[in-house]
Amino acid sequence: MKILDGKATSAALKADIRAEVEAIVAAGGRAPHLAAILVGDNGASVTYVNNKVKSCHEVGFKSSLIKFPESVTEEELLAKITELNADPTIDGFIVQLPLPRHINEQLITESIAPEKDVDGFHPVNMGALALGQGQLVPATPAGIIEMLERYDIPTEGRHAVVVGRSNIVGIPVSLLLSGKYKKGNCTVTICHSKTQNLPEITRQADILVAAIGVPHFITADMVKEGATVIDVGITRVADESKKCGFSIKGDVDYDAVAPKCEYITPVPGGVGPMTIAMLMKNTLTAMKIRQDKK
Ligand code: GUN
Q: List, in order of start, the domains of the chain with CATH numbers.
A: 29-112 (3.40.50.10860), 139-273 (3.40.50.720)
Alpha helices in 212-259 (DSSP H): 254-257
Tell me the sheet residues that pair with 108: none
Is 292's pLDDT higher than 90? no
Is 274's C-beta closer than 6 angstroms to any atom of ligand 1? no
Phi-psi region of 269 (alpha: psi -120 to 50; beta: other; left: phi over 0): left
Is 279's pLDDT higher than 80? yes
- pLDDT tens-digit map of 143-187: 999 999 999 999 999 999 999 999 999 999 999 999 999 999 999
Mean pLDDT score, 42-46: 95
- pLDDT tens-digit map of 79-137: 999 999 999 999 999 999 999 999 999 999 999 999 999 999 999 999 999 999 999 99
Q: What is the residue with the minimal CA distance to atom 3 of ligand 1? A: 97
How far apart are the C-alpha atoms of 269 and 143, rounded to whole Å?
12
- pLDDT tens-digit map of 46-83: 999 999 999 999 999 999 999 999 999 999 999 999 99
Question: Which pLDDT score, from 0 to 100, does residue 150 have?
Answer: 97
Is 94's C-beta closer than 6 angstroms to any atom of ligand 1? yes
Cross-sheet strand order for the sheet of 227-231: 2-3, 261-264, 227-231, 207-210, 159-163, 187-191
Tell me, yes or no, if 96 is annotated catalytic: yes
Q: Which of 5, 14, 52, 251 is catalytic?
A: 52
How far apart are the C-alpha atoms of 270 and 7, rounded to whole Å?
7
Q: From the CA of 196, how far away is ligand 1's center (Å)?
A: 29
Please tell me the pTM assigned to this model: 0.96
Mean pLDDT score, 33-38: 98
Is 230's pLDDT higher than 90? yes
Is 250's pLDDT higher than 90? yes
Q: From the CA of 259, how far away is ligand 1's center (Å)?
A: 31
| H-run or E-run covering 24 | helix 6-26
Is 44's C-beta closer than 6 angstroms to any atom of ligand 1? no
Q: Which ligand 1 atom minimizes the distance to the CA of 36?
A: 9
Strand duo 261-264 + 246-249: pairing: unpaired
Q: Which ligand 1 atom minimizes the distance to the CA of 275?
A: 6
Residue 112 sits at φ, ψ, to 5 deg, of: -80, 135
Question: Which pLDDT score, from 0 to 100, does residue 204 have?
Answer: 98
Considering the chain, what percentage of its residues have pLDDT values greater than 70?
Answer: 100
